[in-house]
Structure 1
Amino acid sequence: MSTPWRPLRHFVLKVHSRCDLACDHCYVFEHADQSWRGRPPAMSAATAARAAERIAEHAARHHLPRVGVVVHGGEPLLLGAARLDEILTILRATIGAVCELDLRMQTNGVRLTAATCAMLLRHEVRVGVSLDGGRAANDRHRRFRNGATSHPQTLRALALLREHRPLYAGILCTVDVANDPVGVYRALLAERPPAVDLLLPHATWDDPPSPGSAGAWLRAFHERWNDDGRPVPVRLFDSIRSLGRGGPTFTEAVGVDAGDVVVIETDGAWEEPDSMKTTRDGGGATGLTVHTASADEVAGTPAMRRRRGGLAVLSATCRACAVVHQCGGGLVAHRYRSANGFDNPSVYCDDLKELITVINEHPGPVGGDLGALPDDAFERLAHGYGDAAAVALLAEAELAVNRALVSEILGETASGGELLAELERAAPADFDAVLGHPFVRAWAVSCLDGKDAEPDRTAAIAAAVAVRAGVRADVQVHTHDGLLHLPTVGVFEAPAEQVHVTTGPAWCVLRWPGGRAEVPAGGGAGHVPGWHPARWVLLDGVRVQLEDADPYRDRLEFAAAGRLGAAAERDWADLLAGAWEQVGLDAPEQAAGMRRGLRAIVPLAPARDGTLRSATSRHAFGALGVAHTPDPAAAAVLLVHEFQHTKLGAVLDLIDLVPEEAAGDRLTVGWRPDPRPVEAALQGAYAHLGVADVWRHRAERDGDPAGRTLFRKYRDWTAEAIDDLLTGDRLTPAGTRFVAHMAATVHGWPG
């Protein structure tokens, strides 16, 4: 059976294999696998350099905009500040040269000093600390070898992190049902962490957890956290809530799409996540090292492919469960039984089900604070802008949503599923390009909602990936309304209900009963009767699709125009080139984000009265619908306006900014005659902030009184809406923060 494959994005680097504590619940030193005994205590600079090279080549090959590396142990601070500085320098120089590097460290904190904090700040490392609660709770397990408490030293480390706030990533707490959950909650919150991660003690069916209900413990913790207004993100809770809404998970502990973490040991050995050490001796070993194997080879091993197998690799009990899309079978290691491997539910199955039920009964914002967005990205977007890095995070999250939706549909139909899994392994960049096409999600949402959509479109998606990649494949694709549409590739006027698509490095052949057509390799230009390749425009080096064929582009608010002729295509290319130049002049703070997130322009049918017309869809990230106008400056305003909507829609997929209780509220806004729901008012304010900024730049550059008047009109509309949004309980805490940043931008503009 083929299972999905995709690039690795998270790496754990074991820089030291020993620890200065003797925690009796430690899965590295106290559980079944004892391979640490045969490994060097510290990672050498040469091994670190080779590991960095492997990660960098993987990121470059798969065009990853961002990877995460966690410096781990044992205890990483045992390495010493000088050697740790050397390794961090290697990681930054090597991996940072090809992509953004999210660099973190997990520590017990007992050796953290002010000087080490200064060094970590230079390398922009974010530090997580392990703490299980107050002193009595922490002392149950986290003691020195002589039995002495480590609690005072850990609190001292947390105080240092509060003094060096950019370092502070959060607290990792291992659950012990013998500890009072509310007492643990209070002790963790007292340390003012940016986030909390709750870890169920690692256990298997051969070595089950201690007696007592982890579900009841988690429920009590959640209830207190929920009653307090969710003052801090709790990654386990936020992941379950996000998964319940069709979003991504933020932890490997839950969800069916969480298999992108790999470990590099002190000797350079590639391994599965550390939790596998609880299963058996040698648990998690791949037999590969950074000295002999690439990250691609690791990702292709049976063990790593199993971790990415989705619903297909879960037990029959899990697949039949109503909450499987949130639970995902739990952590892989927790399913282990020596008699039958991993073909079992989690040993915490009942506990997870209890927690998921509680969370589903308390719908609300994902994240007590910012959910999946780092503070800096959240703030840049909230100010009304968002650079390339911030928009890249949104794009990654939206791609994850598309993947999850398509996977869910594949669970109901086999059409193209086997081929898609193979193509994901063989051509990940083309796979992501097709899955990331805006209207793949529009189709998937329509399909899952039971609207007019074809589940068998998965075959067309698979064929599109194969054509783009030029790999050998054969797939039978159904046509609809006489058309064979391959997303991002083109459309064929098919004379049959089914077309057999055969692809290879230099050909693409379409066959149907009584006929055939040869399409140029990659689906590109070339005169083939009935074949219309996808249209693209190049905007300052950015390739954007002029989408005039996708059948799901009609999910926008206004009707899409028909297919473009050659003359109309040239007109659009000229218009968009001029509009893009205007964006660079009039919205310079928006340009980099638009370059990263803009996927497609959909020509809309013009309004009968000649007014400007544009649209976006929450379910089509990166697609902007625009009706043609002869004025590039006017088109630039429309592009900025709609890109604001597409950004905010992606933010709302990650973080609830508006509480459900405000759903019935209505606000009067300047740009519409009818009162608007709170979320619609927020969308309008965010879009008009971008429009006001365009007119601000134009007025300042040209000194045009009319431009100044338009700037003031849009600014005042936005400011009034912001003031209303900040009144009462119309926003979640995260929403209040977001809109407060919008207010800071608007009120900071000169009159």
Structure 2
Amino acid sequence: MNSSATPFRQFVIKVATRCDLACDHCYVYEHADRSWRTKPAYPSDETVVRIAERIAEHARLHALSSVEVVLHGGEPLLAGPDRLARTADVLAAALSGTSRLTIKIHTNGVLLDARFCDLFAAKGIKVGISLDGDRIANDRHRRYASGRSSYDKVIAAIDLLRTRYPQLYSGLLCTVDIANDPVAVYEALAALEPPRIDLLLPHATWDAPPSGATGAHGEWLVKVFDRWWSDGRPMAVRLFDSALRTLADRSSLTESLGLEPSDLVVIETDGSYEQADSLKTAYDGAPATGFDVRHHSLDEVAGHPGIRNRQIGLAGLAEECRACPVVSSCGGGLYAHRYRTGTGFDNPSVYCADLLRLVSHVRDTVEAVEHTTHALPPTEFDALAAGYGARRAVLRLEEAQQSLRRTLLAEAGAESAESAESDAWRLLTRLDQEARPALDRVLAHPYVRVWAVRCLADRSHAGHLASIAAATAITAGARASIGVPLSSEALHLPSLGRLDLPGRTEVEIEVDGRGFSVHDGARRLVVDLDRPERTPEWWPVRRVAMDGWTVAVDDVDLYRDCHQWPASGRLSGAEFGRWTAMLGDAWRLIVNDHRDYAPGLAAGLGVVVPLRPASDGSETSSTARDAFGAVAAALPSGAVSLALLLIHEFQHVKLGAILDIHPLFDPKDANLYYAPWRPDPRPLEGLLQGTYAHLAVTDFWRVRRLVDHGVDAHTAAVRFARWRTLTAEAVETLSRSGGLTEIGTRFVGRMRETVRPWLAEQVPAAAEREAQEAAAAHRRAWRAAAPDVAPQL
């Protein structure tokens, strides 16, 4: 593989080449490419083994921490459960000890039954189902060859996933048809509560353009976006989320938008490597590479001109695209949609007008939000108060936090305008005009606010403003030169990393493209962000990417040591590996068993700071009031403990952000209160924080008592029984305190509505007795430790 090529991380394996439906918009059977006719119906066992070996070989060569395999077709369920099981086992065995394997299957759903679902549950295979909306919309295209509707069987399959196998349900794939009512399609899909929706433009080229007027598909998508946005973004929509992310200078979630290099390859049933399936719409043979698993490695495939063209970003686009104001978000659209006879793929997308309309509308919507109040709408306020909070509610908290960070930065910067930090402030002012998404990305790092608060109280921290300016320039890829004072002989760039420079107190940074250079006396250190290993002095912020959540494990930020316990130093490779593995296990547990918390966590928790382990071996974790989006912890004993820790601590993160918007209590209340989870009397805010956190703690053990077995289930039942009673009592203490505001009373009322039904749930008598004994022992110990305190009980 060329050293600059992107390794493959997504592998689409065709496990069947035939289909039981005759969808007239299918790119496999209804467009220009006819190669499916020459492929075997299913891959042989020998071919599957060779495919797995090639993927494992590639993963080892490029040290891939994870790979994703999508089982596809045709209709992949036609392969049958036995063949699918063998395929999953062969892949798992080949990648064991090399990379974490995620397997998904994309199906039309008509054959999906409990037999398949039991298999997928055993193998950890997530299921995505194709559905184009309500019955009318779906039956326009997704029918049997006889013309019979597939709708009822697909809905039955989705209901099976939702009710009996929710951990397998990964989402719905919908092909847009402008003949269908956009709002009706959205409502039909949303009613099925998918974790994610993929809205797919129908495949078309300049030779075979889409139906309807120019821009009609963009208008259709805008109507769906507006309804989704007004609903509070209740589920992920990959196309819309990608537009939002790319407008904020973040990576896209789909090949249809953005400039990120493609990391996907298709492997057909005969073992031949192909480019993305969407190319089948261009011309016969368009996806072919001429390589196969028996004779060629994946690195050889990566050198294919078609693959390379999808990995070179802006340079691979038509001249018209490169001049477009939304190119960094649009990315030229899907590669296949650019095809025209004579000029090949060197054209704008045939959906150019549609993508411009959608991306511009999303941009304008986001900018409008920035000029509106950050008060929470009643529905989102109530959802958060109940202890949960959907993704949109947490994103609204983040929007308010970003406004607060900007205000604090402006206050700190205003004092710097005439001081030694004036160059940094001028650079930040320029970048805010020219590359605002980059500044927003740096400001979103939780510990920038921690710095700003300290800087306003103590100007000795003002020099860090230059580090923020440098980090913003690097993130934007903007040309800049700036002097930066060092702290502890190191350059700290928030959200990016730390560069050790022994013996130096100040350096000059030059930024150009995706890296930067530092003049260090006689040396010139060059840091390439894409190849950090080339500069041993550079410690980048490392990130853990999981299915639906990416989190930074920040062990280098200068202001991270603001928690109740001290932060760790730089993690070794082995230590980071343990964090990576346990975060992945904890996240899967949350998604599978505690899914009500997953969307909010994924939207709002972006940083985990490792703490030093406690000397007594106890588990420690913390949040900081000024560090929204971050949780600090020592690595706990296992994934269950880490999952609880993340859910519990993120409750504090959410409530802190809510308190920045809405005053829930009278800060003059000087009373102390009994908190059954603490050894000391707590002020009103402390009791509110603890009670809100223990809503989630109680719910966690409520679920675990049902999904765990043996001793673990009994322990969970005891904890559930204990915390439901004590949390309910704490809610009533808050309600009677007299220190709540009107909106605070509403907030606590919603907490009561959550915990009260749990009091009626059945637990074994032995567990109830243990819970009561533990609660009584805590109260006695508390009384003995604070005999002179008269808390408000």
Q: Name the SS of the counterpart of 1:68 in structure 2.
A: strand
Identify the match of residue 648 of structure 1 among 630, 644, 661.
630
Q: For residues 173 and 632 of structure 1, do their structure 2 counterparts lie closer, same or farther at Cα, with a shift above 3 Å needed?
A: closer
| Counterpart position of 2:384 | none
- Shift of residue 482 of structure 1? 6.8
Aligned partners of 1:303 and 1:107: how far apart in 2?
27
| Counterpart position of 1:507 | none
Q: For residues 625 and 338 of structure 1, do their structure 2 counterparts lie closer, same or farther at Cα, with a shift above 3 Å needed?
A: farther
Residue 25, structure 1, aligned to residue 25, structure 2? yes
- Shift of residue 646 of structure 1? 8.9
**Deviation digits for residues 151-175 of structure 1 (CA, Å, limit 9, x no counterpart):** 2222222222223222211111111
Q: Name the SS of the counterpart of 1:80 in structure 2.
A: helix
Tell me the amino acid that sits aligned with residue 689 of structure 2.
T
Q: Which runs of 5+ in 2 are unaligned?
A: 371-378, 381-388, 394-430, 439-465, 485-490, 492-504, 528-532, 541-552, 588-603, 633-645, 648-652, 670-674, 694-730, 735-739, 745-749, 759-770, 779-793
The 8 Å contact of residues 579 and 633 in structure 1, kept in 2 or not, is answered as: no
Residue 665, structure 1, aligned to residue 666, structure 2? no
Q: What pairs up with 1:393-404 in 2 under 5 angstroms? A: none
Q: For residues 484 and 196 of structure 1, do their structure 2 counterparts lie closer, same or farther at Cα, with a shift above 3 Å needed?
A: closer
Q: For residues 715 and 595 of structure 1, do their structure 2 counterparts lie closer, same or farther at Cα, with a shift above 3 Å needed?
A: farther
| Counterpart position of 2:255 | 252
Residue 196, structure 1, aligned to residue 178, structure 2? no
Tell me the amino acid that sits aligned with residue 648 of structure 1.
A
Residue 143, structure 1, aligned to residue 148, structure 2? no
Aligned partners of 1:31 and 1:340: how far apart in 2?
19
Q: What pairs up with 1:34-45 in 2 under 5 angstroms? A: 34-45=34-45
The 8 Å contact of residues 251 and 258 in structure 1, kept in 2 or not, is answered as: no
The 8 Å contact of residues 225 and 231 in structure 1, kept in 2 or not, is answered as: yes
Tell me the amino acid that sits aligned with residue 182 of structure 2.
P
**Deviation digits for residues 634-673 of structure 1 (CA, Å, limit 9, x no counterpart):** 9999996579959638999xxxx989x9797255799x99
Tell me the amino acid that sits aligned with residue 244 of structure 2.
R
Residue 454, structure 1, aligned to residue 481, structure 2? yes
Tell me the amino acid that sits aligned with residue 289 of structure 2.
T
Aligned partners of 1:643 and 1:54: how far apart in 2?
49
Q: For residues 714 and 304 of structure 1, do their structure 2 counterparts lie closer, same or farther at Cα, with a shift above 3 Å needed?
A: farther
| Counterpart position of 2:177 | 176
Q: Name the SS of the counterpart of 2:481 in structure 1.
A: coil
Q: For residues 668 and 109 of structure 1, do their structure 2 counterparts lie closer, same or farther at Cα, with a shift above 3 Å needed?
A: closer
- Shift of residue 60 of structure 1? 2.6
Aligned partners of 1:272 and 1:187: how far apart in 2?
33
CA RMSD of aligned residues (A): 5.9
| Counterpart position of 1:100 | 100
The 8 Å contact of residues 183 and 227 in structure 2, kept in 1 or not, is answered as: yes
- Shift of residue 27 of structure 1? 0.6
The 8 Å contact of residues 516 and 526 in structure 2, kept in 1 or not, is answered as: no
The 8 Å contact of residues 242 and 253 in structure 2, kept in 1 or not, is answered as: yes
| Counterpart position of 2:238 | 235
Aligned partners of 2:275 and 2:40: how far apart in 1?
19
The 8 Å contact of residues 66 and 100 in structure 1, kept in 2 or not, is answered as: yes
Tell me the amino acid that sits aligned with residue 212 of structure 2.
P
The 8 Å contact of residues 483 and 506 in structure 2, kept in 1 or not, is answered as: no
| Counterpart position of 1:166 | 167
- Shift of residue 136 of structure 1? 2.2
Identify the match of residue 336 of structure 1 among 336, 339, 350.
339
Residue 301, structure 1, aligned to residue 297, structure 2? no
**Deviation digits for residues 98-156 of structure 1 (CA, Å, limit 9, x no counterpart):** 22222111111111122111111111111111111222222221121222222222222
Aligned partners of 1:729 and 1:4: how far apart in 2?
56
The 8 Å contact of residues 31 and 277 in structure 1, kept in 2 or not, is answered as: yes
| Counterpart position of 2:472 | 445
Aligned partners of 1:99 and 1:332: how far apart in 2?
29
Q: For residues 302 and 673 of structure 1, do their structure 2 counterparts lie closer, same or farther at Cα, with a shift above 3 Å needed?
A: farther
Aligned partners of 2:363 and 2:743: how far apart in 1?
22
Q: For residues 198 and 345 of structure 1, do their structure 2 counterparts lie closer, same or farther at Cα, with a shift above 3 Å needed?
A: same
Q: What pairs up with 1:382-397 in 2 under 5 angstroms? A: none
| Counterpart position of 1:428 | none
Number of aligned residues: 544
The 8 Å contact of residues 474 and 515 in structure 2, kept in 1 or not, is answered as: no
Q: Name the SS of the counterpart of 2:356 in structure 1.
A: helix
| Counterpart position of 1:719 | 690
The 8 Å contact of residues 590 and 640 in structure 1, kept in 2 or not, is answered as: no
Aligned partners of 1:180 and 1:523: how far apart in 2?
55
Aligned partners of 1:644 and 1:595: how far apart in 2?
28
Q: Name the SS of the counterpart of 1:166 in structure 2.
A: helix
**Deviation digits for residues 381-424 of structure 1 (CA, Å, limit 9, x no counterpart):** x9xxxxxxxxxxxxxxxxxxxxxx9xx99xx9xxxxxxxxxxxx
| Counterpart position of 1:528 | none
The 8 Å contact of residues 447 and 455 in structure 1, kept in 2 or not, is answered as: no
Tell me the amino acid that sits aligned with residue 313 of structure 1.
G
Tell me the amino acid that sits aligned with residue 289 of structure 1.
D
The 8 Å contact of residues 554 and 609 in structure 2, kept in 1 or not, is answered as: no
The 8 Å contact of residues 580 and 636 in structure 1, kept in 2 or not, is answered as: no
Aligned partners of 1:485 and 1:102: how far apart in 2?
37
Residue 322, structure 1, aligned to residue 293, structure 2? no
Residue 125, structure 1, aligned to residue 125, structure 2? yes
Q: For residues 673 and 41 of structure 1, do their structure 2 counterparts lie closer, same or farther at Cα, with a shift above 3 Å needed?
A: farther
Q: For residues 262 and 522 of structure 1, do their structure 2 counterparts lie closer, same or farther at Cα, with a shift above 3 Å needed?
A: closer
Residue 263, structure 1, aligned to residue 253, structure 2? no
- Shift of residue 189 of structure 1? 2.4
The 8 Å contact of residues 134 and 184 in structure 2, kept in 1 or not, is answered as: yes
Q: For residues 216 and 718 of structure 1, do their structure 2 counterparts lie closer, same or farther at Cα, with a shift above 3 Å needed?
A: same
| Counterpart position of 2:54 | 54
Q: Name the SS of the counterpart of 1:67 in structure 2.
A: strand
Q: For residues 153 and 482 of structure 1, do their structure 2 counterparts lie closer, same or farther at Cα, with a shift above 3 Å needed?
A: closer
Aligned partners of 2:238 and 2:743: how far apart in 1?
25
Q: For residues 580 and 638 of structure 1, do their structure 2 counterparts lie closer, same or farther at Cα, with a shift above 3 Å needed?
A: farther
Q: Name the SS of the counterpart of 1:249 in structure 2.
A: coil
The 8 Å contact of residues 104 and 125 in structure 1, kept in 2 or not, is answered as: yes
Tell me the amino acid that sits aligned with residue 690 of structure 2.
A
The 8 Å contact of residues 470 and 509 in structure 2, kept in 1 or not, is answered as: no
- Shift of residue 55 of structure 1? 1.6
Aligned partners of 1:711 and 1:307: how far apart in 2?
58
Aligned partners of 1:488 and 1:625: how far apart in 2?
29
The 8 Å contact of residues 609 and 631 in structure 2, kept in 1 or not, is answered as: no
The 8 Å contact of residues 526 and 535 in structure 2, kept in 1 or not, is answered as: no
Q: Which runs of 5+ in 1 are unaligned?
A: 370-377, 383-404, 413-438, 462-478, 502-520, 525-532, 537-543, 548-552, 560-574, 598-617, 675-691, 697-706, 731-735
Tell me the amino acid that sits aligned with residue 334 of structure 2.
L
Q: For residues 499 and 709 of structure 1, do their structure 2 counterparts lie closer, same or farther at Cα, with a shift above 3 Å needed?
A: closer
**Deviation digits for residues 185-224 of structure 1 (CA, Å, limit 9, x no counterpart):** 2222233322211110001111111124111111222222
**Deviation digits for residues 331-374 of structure 1 (CA, Å, limit 9, x no counterpart):** 01111112212221111111111111222233379xx99xxxxx
| Counterpart position of 1:392 | none
**Deviation digits for residues 70-108 of structure 1 (CA, Å, limit 9, x no counterpart):** 100001111112212221222223224422222111111
- Shift of residue 721 of structure 1? 7.0
Q: Name the SS of the counterpart of 1:176 in structure 2.
A: coil
The 8 Å contact of residues 15 and 71 in structure 1, kept in 2 or not, is answered as: yes
The 8 Å contact of residues 318 and 345 in structure 1, kept in 2 or not, is answered as: yes
- Shift of residue 499 of structure 1? 8.2
Q: For residues 319 and 50 of structure 1, do their structure 2 counterparts lie closer, same or farther at Cα, with a shift above 3 Å needed?
A: same
Residue 494, structure 1, aligned to residue 528, structure 2? no
Aligned partners of 1:596 and 1:116: how far apart in 2?
26
The 8 Å contact of residues 624 and 642 in structure 1, kept in 2 or not, is answered as: no
Q: For residues 455 and 37 of structure 1, do their structure 2 counterparts lie closer, same or farther at Cα, with a shift above 3 Å needed?
A: farther
- Shift of residue 594 of structure 1? 12
- Shift of residue 261 of structure 1? 1.4
Q: For residues 483 and 340 of structure 1, do their structure 2 counterparts lie closer, same or farther at Cα, with a shift above 3 Å needed?
A: closer
Aligned partners of 1:596 and 1:167: how far apart in 2?
17
